[in-house]
Amino acid sequence: MKPATPPPPTDPARRRWMALSCGLGAVGGVAATIPLAGSLLPPEHLRHPPPLRVDLAALAPGQKLSLTWLGQPLWVVHRTPQQVAALSNPALLARLADPQSQRPGSITPTGARNATRSLLPQWLVVVGVCTHLGCTPLDRLTPGAGTGLPPDWPGGFLCPCHGSTFDLAGRVFRDQPAPDNLAVPAHRFASATELILGEDTPAQAA
Ligand code: FES
């Protein structure tokens, strides 16, 4: 069967397709260096994605794991208690375009539409594809000024293509080229350190 061509990256349908596609793939090497990401696997391969188990037991607080899943970068960040607490800082929330992931284009499972944008507060699970034109943002996890970052940078990610910035919950800052937060894929946790990608249990984080 001829593979279907996905719609343009900024189309909400394209972003939904990207989130679904995150239900497939193999664990790969380090990401964050891929300038343009995207998969052209046919949608029929995405209808019944096999779950992918990822053992996070060795990922220490403050560390990030990068996978390649279905040709797309997928990130898991083990946020520290301080990082988790900072996500609810009113000064930060005021700078975000969609702090509660309520926009129609925001790909966020129901169970992750919360203050940490996650099923478990310490774990950020997000697709490393900028919602502007599909570049892969760079890690800028440490707070503080830097090239392309404001002096009061709280830590997060910087897209090198057009300068969009995202916080440690993958939430896009206001007035950026990127229209939406980074996508959160369907996933659940079998335990505190066992991530299962491709299975969605929204009630888990209620
Ligand atoms: S692709 Fe990320 S800001 Fe344009």
* CA 163 to ligand 1: nearest atom: 3
CA of 109 to the centre of ligand 1 (A): 23
Ligand 1 pocket, residue 160 CB under 6 Å:
no
Helix and strand element counts for the chain (H, E): 3, 9
Calculate the average pLDDT of the chain: 80
**Backbone phi and psi for residue 45, each to the nearest 5 degrees, phi listed first:** -80, -10
Sheet holding 72-78, edge to edge: 64-69, 72-78, 123-127
Q: Which stretch of 6-15, 55-64, 102-111 has the lowest confidence by average pLDDT?
A: 6-15
Quick check: 70 and 62 in contact, CB under 8 A? no
The domain 52-205 is placed in CATH, from the list 3.40.190.10, 1.20.58.100, 2.102.10.10, 1.20.1070.10, at: 2.102.10.10
Q: Which stretch of 11-20, 50-59, 107-116, 175-184 has the lowest confidence by average pLDDT?
A: 11-20
Quick check: 141 and 77 in contact, CB under 8 A? yes
CA of 10 to the centre of ligand 1 (A): 10
pLDDT for residue 138: 98
C-alpha torsion sign, points 117, 121, 122, 125: negative
3-state SS, residue 67: strand
Ligand 1 pocket, residue 133 CB under 6 Å:
yes
pLDDT in tens, 128-177: 999 999 999 999 999 999 999 999 999 999 999 999 999 999 999 999 99
Mean pLDDT, range 170-188, rounded to an integer: 95
Q: Which stretch of 12-16, 50-54, 71-75 has the lowest confidence by average pLDDT?
A: 12-16
- Answer yes or no: pTM beyond 0.85: no
Ligand 1 pocket, residue 182 CB under 6 Å:
no
Ligand 1 pocket, residue 124 CB under 6 Å:
no
pLDDT in tens, 29-51: 333 333 334 444 444 444 556 78
